[in-house]
Amino acid sequence: MTVMAVDAMIHTIRGCRVILDSDLARIYGVPTKRLNEQVKRNKDRFPEDFAFVLTREEVRGLRSQIATSNGRGGARYLPMAFTEHGALMAANVLSSDEAVKMSVVVVRAFVRMREALSATAELRRKLTELEDRLTERLDKHEQAIVRILREIDALMSPASSPKRIGFHVREKRGLYRARSRKE
What confidence score (pLDDT) does residue 36 get? 92
Q: Which domain holds residue 57?
A: 3-127
CA distance 46 to 157: 79
> Is 155 part of any domain?
no
pLDDT average per 10 residues of sequence, the chain (183 residues): 77 89 90 92 91 90 63 69 89 80 81 79 79 78 80 72 66 62 63
Closest CA to 91 of 102, 105, 80, 82: 102
> Is 179 part of any domain?
no
The set of residues, in sequence order, having a beta carbon less than 8 Å from that of 89 and lying 6+ positions away, is 42, 45, 46, 50, 51
Q: What is the DSSP letter of 42?
A: T
Query: Nearest 5°: phi and psi at 82?
Result: -115, 130
What confidence score (pLDDT) does residue 172 get? 66
Distances in whole angstroms, Cα of residue 103 to Cα of each of 39, 66, 121, 182:
16, 23, 27, 128
> Is 43 part of any domain?
yes
Total structural domains within the chain = 1
What confidence score (pLDDT) does residue 67 get? 54
> Is 157 part of any domain?
no
> Is 143 part of any domain?
no
35-49 as b/e: b if 16+ CB within 10 A: bbebbeeeeeebeee
> Is 8 part of any domain?
yes
Query: Nearest 5°: phi and psi at 164?
Result: -95, 140
> Is 121 part of any domain?
yes
> Is 92 part of any domain?
yes
